[in-house]
Structure 1
């Protein structure tokens, strides 16, 4: 697992999207099954809040995704996969 982000700095922090990336869809499914994804999102939100960076989980600013899905849907191009999120 690794974590990355996408942002349009002209609209920070509203455009900030934090993505926890798992290897496979199955791994993510297992993580969601024990609600570890929710705990991970809450931890990211807590750490950003400590830095005075407000972020909204309900606005999908913190997400989980997989390398498998990006490869399948966007030929491994993460910028393309999250382009809309960072611009809006």
Structure 2
């Protein structure tokens, strides 16, 4: 990783940590978020995955338009750290602990690697 990539990674982590802390207070069932990125293809490769505890809470968030509010929150935090990614809302995705447990035995590394390969990050 180049020095400039490390600096960018630090900014992304800062922005997403702030978004996560706010989301934990605002959204029932929200657990955590993470990101994947290929810095050779940044910003087009950036994806953010928001994880809820179960499908029921995720459905409630999406149906109550809280999913869109969460996307706005993340976009704002990234922007406040001077990370402006065109169309970032399309790259903010949702998942659940429940789905990972059922499909990957709770192995998030494996799940995110499959996700990364499917998205061609």
**Distance across 2 between alignment mates of 1:85 and 1:15:** 12
Question: Alpha carbons of 1:10 and 1:79: their partners in 2 closer, same or farther (altered >3 Å)?
Answer: farther
- Map 1:8-19; keep pairs closer than 5 Å: 8-19=38-49
Give the one of 42, 51, 56 matched to 1:26.
56
**Distance across 1 between alignment mates of 2:107 and 2:116:** 10
**Distance across 2 between alignment mates of 1:13 and 1:41:** 17
Question: Alpha carbons of 1:77 and 1:9: their partners in 2 closer, same or farther (altered >3 Å)?
Answer: farther
* CA apart distance, 1:86: 6.2
- In the TM superposition, what whole-angstrom CA distance separates every residue of 1:29-81 from its partner, at most 9, and x where no partner exists? 111121111100111011111222223213xx111210111222233233333
Which ranges of structure 1 fall in alignment gaps of 5 or more residues?
Answer: none
Query: TM-score scaled by structure 1?
Result: 0.80
Give the one of 89, 94, 101 matched to 1:57.
89
Pick 1 or 2: higher relative contact order, CA cutoff 8 A, min separation 6.
1
- The answer as to 2:117 corresponding to 1:84 is yes
| Structure with higher helix content | 2
Which ranges of structure 2 fall in alignment gaps of 5 or more residues?
Answer: 1-30
CA RMSD, aligned part only? 1.8
1-10 or 31-40, which deviates more: 1-10
User: Is the radius of gyration larger for structure 1 or structure 2?
Assistant: 2
**Distance across 2 between alignment mates of 1:3 and 1:46:** 15
